[in-house]
Each structure stands twice: as C-alpha cells, then as structure tokens.
Amino acid sequence: MTGLAENYRYEKIIEEGASDFVEKPVRIQEILVRLKRVLRERAITIELKRSYGKLRRILWETVEALASALEKRDPYTAGHQKRVAKLGCALAEELGFSEKQIEGIQVAGNLHDIGKLSIPTDILNKPGQLSTNEFNLIKEHSQVGYEILVDIEFDQPISQIILQHHERMNGSGYPRGLSGEDIIAEARVLAVADVVESMVSHRPYRPALGLDRALAEISQNRGSHFDPTVADTCLKLCASGRFVFE
C-alpha cells in the first residue's frame, strides 16, 4: 500500500518486486480483488512448474530408454554413453560452462551413439578389423543420430552436439569436416570425452588400452584434433585423480 504521488511510475514499483499495489485511502474490496488475482497467478505458476517437472522426467525416461535400446544391440559399448556423459559433464564444470550447457552435454553424452541403431549388429560386434565400407557405415551414425533427434525440442542443441562429436579442430573429422570454432563448444568437449572413454574400454576388435595411453592420445592431438583448452583440462582432471571411471 502506498500514498506515493500519482506520477510515481507503476512500472518502477513492479520492477522493485511488488506483485501489485493500492493507493491510500485503502479500499478493502479492492485489496480482496487484487489479492485473489495474485493468488490465482501464483497457482498458475505452481502448476506450470509441476508440468515442466513432469515433462523433464518424461524426457529423461525417453533418453534412458533410447540409450538402453542401443546397448542391448551393442553389448560391448554397454555403459559407454553414460561414462562419456559423466566425463563430459566433469570437463564442462571445470571449464566453467553454464548449467544449461552442462545439462546439454549430459543428454547428448547419453545419446551420442544413438545413430548406431541403424547399423547391423554383426558390424557393431565384429571382432576383427572393419573393412572400408563397414567403417564408412559406422561413420554415418552421427548423421543418423542427428536425424533421429533433430525434431525433438530440447532446451539445448542436442542434435547438433551429436552431429558434431566426431568433428576435429583441423577439419579432418566427420560428417561435415567442420573445424575450429565452427564446432560448437559442447561437441568439442564430448569429442575428448568420447575418445578417452573408448580407449580405456574393451572393444570387440581390441582389449582396453588404459588411461595412460588414452591421455597420451589426447596430448598428442591437442590442437589438431581436439580443442587445446578442453584437452588440457582433461589431462589435468584425470592426472589429479579427481575423476575416475567407474
């Protein structure tokens, strides 16, 4: 309630945090009407928050279902996407990414290989070296993953992160040969996390190579394949022992 002069701007009062105001002399009926309106608006806000929370839960359940579907077809990469997401988020936190960006990396990390659903299981699980044609088919998974997710309205650029996670700083990656800053930051983080996790894990065509060798790969290709800032952050984080693969 206020007895301020009429020329005091209504907008100024609202900007300072008031939901509404009435002028003196106070009229009880006016207060009741405005109070009901404020309570009604508050109830709508609460309901919107509940609906948003429900949508987020449904979204995460969908993400987990898609990731599970892939891992059932490709048991050798079971847990790979979750571990990539975990390392990617840890790197993003170290780099000072926003909460929204970190969440985007978490979602994209858990789905980055979803395009492999289109690849025959005998190729995914082949114990020997892939032929050129088979490898080219594998390389299509980032484009296919993009096409699967592009029409889903995430809060973050999930489909673009997935599309670009095999791009390299010098333009030697795929599918579009992007380079440098043309690769979005989240994809540059995921690229490092994906390579490290892949090398420390067992694959049908080779045993696990170990963390030391994975970090050597990142160090050797710092700046050419991998964003140097992301690479340095990964090397420091893993060397410190503050991040450990489960």
From first to last of the 246 residues of the chain, give the pLDDT tens digit: 444 444 455 555 556 555 555 555 556 666 666 667 777 777 777 776 777 667 777 777 877 787 787 888 887 777 899 999 999 999 999 999 999 999 999 999 999 999 998 899 889 888 888 999 999 999 999 999 999 999 888 889 999 999 999 999 999 999 999 999 999 999 999 999 999 999 999 888 889 999 999 999 999 999 999 999 999 999 999 999 888 877
The answer to whether 111 and 142 have CB atoms below 8 angstroms apart is: no
CA 49, chain centre distance (Å): 22
Q: SS in 3 state form for the chain? A: CECCCCCCCHHHHHHCCCCCCCECCCCHHHHHHHHHHHHHHHHHHHHHHHHHHHHHHHHHHHHHHHHHHHHHHCHHHCCHHHHHHHHHHHHHHHCCCCHHHHHHHHHHHHHCCHHHHHCCHHHHCCCCCCCHHHHHHHHCHHHHHHHHHCCCCCCCCHHHHHHHCCCCCCCCCCCCCCCHHHCCHHHHHHHHHHHHHHHHCCECCECCCCHHHHHHHHHHCECCCECHHHHHHHHHHHHHCCCCCC
Which residue reads 């839960």 in tokens? Answer: 57
